[in-house]
Amino acid sequence: MAHDDAVAVKEPQAPKESHARRWSGLGGGFIAKLLLMALVNALALTIIMSAWNAEAWAILTLSIVLIVAADIIYFAKRTLPLKYLYPGLVFLAIFQLFTLAYTGYVAFTNYGTGHAGSQQQAVEATLIQNERRVDGTPTVPLSIVRDGDTLGFAVTQDGIVSVGTEDDVLEPVGGAVVDANGRATEVPGWEVVSQNELFSDQDLQQAVIDLRVPVSDEAEDGSMRTRDGSSGAVYQSSIEWDDEAQTFTDKETGTVYYADQETGNFVADDGSRLPTGWSVTVGFDNFVRAVTDQNLAGPLLKVTLWTFAFAVLTVLTSFGLGLLFALIYNDDRIRGRKWMRTVFILPYAFPAFMSALLWRGMLNREFGIINDWFFFGADINWLGDPLLAKLAILWVNLWLSYPYWFLVCTGALQALPSETMEASRMDGAGRWRQFRSITLPLLMVSTAPLAISSFAFNFNNFTIIYMLTEGGPPFPGTSGLGSTDILISAIYNISGVSGGSADYGLASALSIIVFIVVGIISAIAFRQTRKLEEI
Binding residues among 401-430 for other proteins as defined by CB under 8 A: 403-404, 407-408, 411, 422, 426
124, 166, 293, 470: which one binds other proteins (CB under 8 A): 470
Q: Which stretch binds other proteins (CB under 8 A): 280-288, 304-312, 471-479, 516-524?
A: 516-524
- Choosing from 126, 286, 355, 401, the residue that interacts with other proteins (CB under 8 A) is 355
Relative orientation angle of helices 337-344 and 297-329, to the nearest 10 degrees? 170
Is 109 a residue that touches other proteins (CB under 8 A)? no
* β-bridge mates for residue 182, sequence order: none
DSSP class per residue in 33-51: HHHHHHHHHHHHHHHHHHH
Of residues 302 and 360, the one with the C-beta less far from other proteins: 360
Residue 283: phi, psi to the nearest 5? 65, -140
3-state secondary structure of 290: helix
C-beta of residue 226 within 8 angstroms of C-beta of residue 209: yes
Q: By C-beta, is 238 or 453 nearer to other proteins? A: 453
Q: Which one among 35, 312, 334, 391 touches other proteins, defined by CB under 8 A?
A: 334
> What count of other Cβ atoms lies within 10 Å of the Cβ of residue 492?
19
3-state DSSP percent of the chain in helix, strand and coil, to 5: 55, 15, 30
DSSP conformation class of 373: I
Instruction: Give the strand pairing for 140-147 and 223-226.
Output: unpaired
Closest separation in Å from C-beta 382 to other proteins: 13
Site string for other proteins, 434-453 (x = CB under 8 A): ------------x--xx-xx
Contact between 28 and 19 (Cβ < 8 Å): yes
Binding range to other proteins, per CB under 8 A, among 200-208, 243-251, 267-275, 343-351: 343-351
Q: Which is nearer to other proteins, 64 or 352 (CB)?
A: 352
Q: Which residue type occupies 381?
A: N
The verdict on 492 binding other proteins (CB under 8 A) reads yes
Give the shortest CB-448-to-other proteins separation in angstroms: 9
Q: Which is nearer to other proteins, 14 or 387 (CB)?
A: 14
29: contact with other proteins by CB under 8 A: yes
Reference 73, options 63, 62, 83; nearest CA is 83
CB of 105 to other proteins, least distance (A): 9
Alpha-carbon distance 506 to 107, whole Å? 6
Please report whether residue 473 would count as binding other proteins according to CB under 8 A: no
87 to 106, contacts with other proteins by CB under 8 A? 87-89, 91-92, 94-100, 102-103, 106
CA contacts within 13 A on the Cβ side of 235: 21
Among 125, 219, 267, 358, binds other proteins (CB under 8 A): 358
Give the span between the Cα atoms of 292 and 311, in whole angstroms.
26
118 touching other proteins, by CB under 8 A: no
Measured in whole angstroms, the distance separating CA 471 from the mean position of its chain's CA atoms is 18
Question: Can you tell me the distance from the alpha carbon of 464 to that of 383, in angstroms, rounded to the nearest whole number?
Answer: 13
Strand partners, 249: 240, 256
> Which of 104/386 has CB closer to other proteins?
104
Measure the CA–CA gap between 12 and 219, rounded to whole angstroms.
77
Interface size with other proteins, residues (CB under 8 A): 115
| 295 close to 477: Cβ distance less than 8 angstroms | yes
Q: Which residue stretches of 169-282 are H helix?
A: 195-200, 202-210
Residues 288-327: x where in contact with other proteins by CB under 8 A, - otherwise, as a string: -------------------------------------x--
Tell me which stretch binds other proteins (CB under 8 A): 171-179, 188-196, 282-290, 351-359: 351-359
Q: Contacts with other proteins in 44-73 (CB under 8 A)? A: 47, 50-51, 54, 56, 58-59
310 in Cβ contact with 395 (< 8 Å): no
Q: Is 129 in the site for other proteins (CB under 8 A)?
A: no
Amino acid at 382: W
In the complex, the smallest distance separating the C-beta of residue 427 from other proteins, rounded to whole angstroms, is 12
In the complex, the smallest distance separating the C-beta of residue 290 from other proteins, rounded to whole angstroms, is 15
Work out how close the CB of 295 gets to other proteins at its nearest, in angstroms, rounded to a whole number: 20
481 near other proteins (CB under 8 A) = no
Residue 41 binds to other proteins (criterion: CB under 8 A): no
Residues 318, 460, 469, 484: which binds other proteins (CB under 8 A)?
A: 460
Going by the DSSP 8-state scheme, the letter that residue 318 receives in this structure is H
* Minimum gap (Å) between residue 123 Cβ and other proteins: 20
For other proteins, give the closer residue by CB, 7 or 391. 7
Residue from the set 257, 466, 483, 493 that interacts with other proteins by CB under 8 A? 466
Longest dimension (CA), the chain: 112
Report the C-alpha gap between 462 and 356 in whole angstroms. Answer: 11
3 state DSSP class of 54: coil
Within 494-513, the residues that bind other proteins by CB under 8 A are 495, 497-498, 504, 507-508, 511
Q: How far apart are CA 389 and CA 404, in angstroms?
A: 24
Rounded Cα distance between 196 and 191, Å, is 14
User: Minimum distance from CB of 160 to other proteins (Å)?
Assistant: 37
370-399 binders of other proteins (CB under 8 A): 372-373, 399
Q: Which is nearer to other proteins, 156 or 460 (CB)?
A: 460
